[in-house]
Structure 1
Amino acid sequence: MSKQLGLYIHIPFCKSKCDYCDFYSLPDREERMDAYQKALLTHIKETAPQARGYLVDTIYFGGGTPSLYGERRIRELLAVIRRRFEVAGNAEITLEANPDSADRRTMLHLRRAGINRISLGMQSAHDDELSALHRPHTFQQVQDAVAAIRAAKIRNLSLDLMYGLPGQDMARWQDSVEKAISLKPEHLSCYGLKVEEGTPLCGRVRRGEVLPSDDQQADMYLWMVARLESAGYHQYEISNFAQSGFQSRHNLKYWLTRPYLGFGPGAHSDFGGRRFSFMRDLDGYIDGVLGGKPIIDSDDLIPKRERSGEYLMLRLRTVRGIEEWEYRREYFMNFDPVEQKLFAYEHNGWAARDGHRWRLTPIGFLLSNQLIGELLELQESATLETTLPKVRDTPPPQPDGDTL
């Protein structure tokens, strides 16, 4: 059976730049779209032979604002991907969209091209909160976009929400969540607002703008987790919730350390034991691909020991969590120090276990940076085992694959 592979296509063009955004995205560069398309197509064709023996089961168009790129270009990219890669018939193909660029005609053409999942940047149901973030849309446009997506018969919709916004309190956050639920998406991604260095929002905060406190944001998060569960959206990662069967298969590749290839400036890949990324420079990427010049920004061969740290760091973001025998069998590492710390977390209500499997609780997720950091420090000090230790129990039967 072919190994599975995800593809990520970065579309860096935006109508405008939101105040909190530190992704590589560029407003007012539409004149470079055709040249960028040529570079992307060239890069995809050149890379495809390296993926022989892999079955592409997820494709993700992220940004930026891919819905601004034009359905003709998206259709052309998908056609080349299908010709050059082996693509599964049931592949999950996601496109990120802003509400102001998700009209019915565009969504219909995208669905016919093969897009079967839309990730829509709602963020808030309150226009003043959207304006404070310099989002280029209103809540009415969110509602119109959802209607257009459904009219195009796209049956897998994810909405993005943000809490901790300027001027936001619990009541307003609850109202945004309720209005998102009323739109009946299959998936919700709910993120706390982060103040990233170098963004306009960072400058605003330094000049004295006040955001909800950490305690207020924690209350918003815990209320959201309970409310979404009661509405049928099951948490499967710190910030992600889905109806049964609608977890993001592409994003799960990141958290379960599965291979993926990225294309575009700033895009990352994890493939063939290497992790690499491309320069965050639109013109440099175009010129490099078309001119045969270097475009790689970083390239690292990831040793097994470092992979063991990724196992802890990424899988503890999910409700699947980590499992003793996975860890011992895959990385030949002593799980005992990690488990002793997890017992302490369990006592504090930060972690829970089911047999040999451990996961963080919603309260633990709020502290995940600190807790995972402590576990990584313990792991760093542990001695690499050359053989498995004597077993204390019979290891559980091995599953056919990862499920959440």
Structure 2
Amino acid sequence: MAEKLGIYIHIPFCRSKCDYCDFYSLAGQEGRMDDYQKALLAHMKETAPLTRGWQVDTVYFGGGTPSFYGEKRLRELLRFIAKRFDLAKDAEITVECNPDSVDQKMLQVLRRAGFNRLSLGVQSACDCELQSLHRPHSYQQAVEAVKAARAAKFQNLSLDLIYGLPGQTMEGWQNTLEQVLTLKPEHLSCYGLKVEEGTPLDYRVSRGEVLPDDDAQADMYLWTVERLAREGFRQYEISNFARPGCQSRHNLRYWMGRPYIGFGPGAHSDFGGRRYSFVRDLETYISGVLGGGVVIDSSDLIPARERGSEYLMLRLRTTRGIEEWEYRREFFLNFDPIEQKLEEYERQGWAERHDRRWNLTPKGFLVSNQLISDLLVIQEEATLEKTLPRLKQGMPPKEP
């Protein structure tokens, strides 16, 4: 039976750049789309032979704004993947879209081409909030985009929302979520606004613009978890909620530490025991792929010890969490000190246990960075305790 693999295609083009965004994306570069398409196709052709014996069961077109790239190019890329890779018949194939760059005709073309999951960047139901972020659409355009998606027979629709926006109150966030729920999506991603260094929003905040503070964001988050649970959405990751059977299979791949290959500037991969990324520069990527230059930005062989750290770091973002014997079997590490710390978290209401499996609670998710950091320190200390006796005997450290 073939092992499963995910493919990520980065489309770095946008109509305009949002104030909070630090993803690698570019506005005003439409003239480079055709050459970029050639580079993507050439890169995938070169890579495909390396994936023999693997079956692709998720494909994700992210950005940037893939819908701004145009249905013709997207359809050509997916057709190429189906031809060059072993694409599963039931593969989840996602495309990210903005409401201003889709219509029913375009979505029908994509659906017929094989795209079966749509991720729509709505962000807010309040036009003044959208304008404050320099989003290129109104909420009514988002409503029309959802209608177009349903008319095009998309049955797996995910909507992205952001809370903690400039000037947003709890009442404003609640109004956004209630309006979005009337659109009946299968999946919701609800992200707390984060001010990324070097973005226009960072500059605005440095000049005195006030955002909802951490406590206000925490209240919005906890209300969201409770409200969506009542609506039938199951939280399966810190920021992601789905109706039964509608979790993002591709994004779960990242959180479960499963292999994937990325294409495009800034794209990351985890394949063949190695993690690598490509340069975050459109021109360098295009010229490197088409001209035989260097496009790798970083590449590391990941030892088992680091995989053990990733297991804690990524799995504890999910409600599935971690399991004692899974940890011992995969990484040959002692779970006892980890469990002692988790029991401490349990007393604080930050973690819960179901048989041998542990996961963080919504309150734990709010402070997950610190909780996971503490667990990683404990893991490192346990590893050192295991290694020191060998070093004292003049023996090399044993890779866990």
| Alpha-carbon displacement from aligned partner over 1:361-394 (angstroms, at most 9, x marks no partner) | 00000000000000001111113798xxxxxxxx
Counterpart residue number, 1:402:
none
The answer as to whether partners of 1:238 and 1:318 remain within 8 angstroms in 2 is yes
Matching residue's letter, 1:21: C
Matching residue's letter, 2:246: F
Matching residue's letter, 1:266: G
Residue aligned with 1:115, SS: coil
Residue aligned with 1:258, SS: coil
Counterpart residue number, 1:103:
103
Tell me the distance in 2 between the aligned counterparts of 1:275 and 1:57.
20
Counterpart residue number, 1:391:
none
- TM-score, normalised by the number of residues in structure 1: 0.95
| Alpha-carbon displacement from aligned partner over 1:8-46 (angstroms, at most 9, x marks no partner) | 000000000000000000000000000000000000000
| Alpha-carbon displacement from aligned partner over 1:230-267 (angstroms, at most 9, x marks no partner) | 00110000000000000000000000000000000000
Tell me the matched-pair count: 387
Tell me the distance in 2 between the aligned counterparts of 1:100 and 1:187.
20
| Alpha-carbon displacement from aligned partner over 1:154-213 (angstroms, at most 9, x marks no partner) | 110000000000010000000001111110000000000000000000000000000001
Gaps of 5+ in 2: 387-400
Percent identity for Structure 1 against Structure 2: 70
Counterpart residue number, 1:399:
none
Counterpart residue number, 1:233:
233
Tell me the distance in 2 between the aligned counterparts of 1:305 and 1:349.
29
Residue aligned with 1:189, SS: strand
Q: Does 1:146 align with 2:146?
A: yes
Counterpart residue number, 2:217:
217
Gaps of 5+ in 1: 387-404
**TM alignment of 1:392-403, pairs within 5 A:** none
Tell me the distance in 1 between the aligned counterparts of 2:266 and 2:160.
22
Counterpart residue number, 2:278:
278
Residue aligned with 2:383, SS: coil
Residue aligned with 2:185, SS: coil
| Alpha-carbon displacement from aligned partner over 1:67-124 (angstroms, at most 9, x marks no partner) | 0111110111111111110000000000000000121011000001111000000000
Tell me the distance in 1 between the aligned counterparts of 2:232 and 2:271.
35
Counterpart residue number, 1:87:
87
Residue aligned with 1:284, SS: helix
Counterpart residue number, 1:390:
none
**TM alignment of 1:175-186, pairs within 5 A:** 175-186=175-186
The answer as to whether partners of 1:233 and 1:242 remain within 8 angstroms in 2 is yes
Counterpart residue number, 1:46:
46
Counterpart residue number, 2:391:
none
Q: Does 1:131 align with 2:119?
A: no
The answer as to whether partners of 1:332 and 1:384 remain within 8 angstroms in 2 is no
Tell me the distance in 1 between the aligned counterparts of 2:254 and 2:383.
27
Tell me the distance in 2 between the aligned counterparts of 1:213 and 1:289.
44
Residue aligned with 2:136, SS: coil
Tell me the distance in 2 between the aligned counterparts of 1:311 and 1:383.
15
Tell me the distance in 1 between the aligned counterparts of 2:385 and 2:299.
28
- TM-score, normalised by the number of residues in structure 2: 0.96
The answer as to whether partners of 1:276 and 1:299 remain within 8 angstroms in 2 is yes
Counterpart residue number, 1:378:
378
Alpha carbons of 1:191 and 1:268: their partners in 2 closer, same or farther (altered >3 Å)? same
Q: Please list every run of at least 4 consecutive aligned residues from structure 1 whose deviation after the TM superposition is greater than 3 angstroms.
A: none
Counterpart residue number, 1:66:
66
| Backbone CA RMSD of aligned residues | 1.0
| Alpha-carbon displacement from aligned partner over 1:110-147 (angstroms, at most 9, x marks no partner) | 00111100000000000000000000000000000000
The answer as to whether partners of 1:333 and 1:385 remain within 8 angstroms in 2 is no
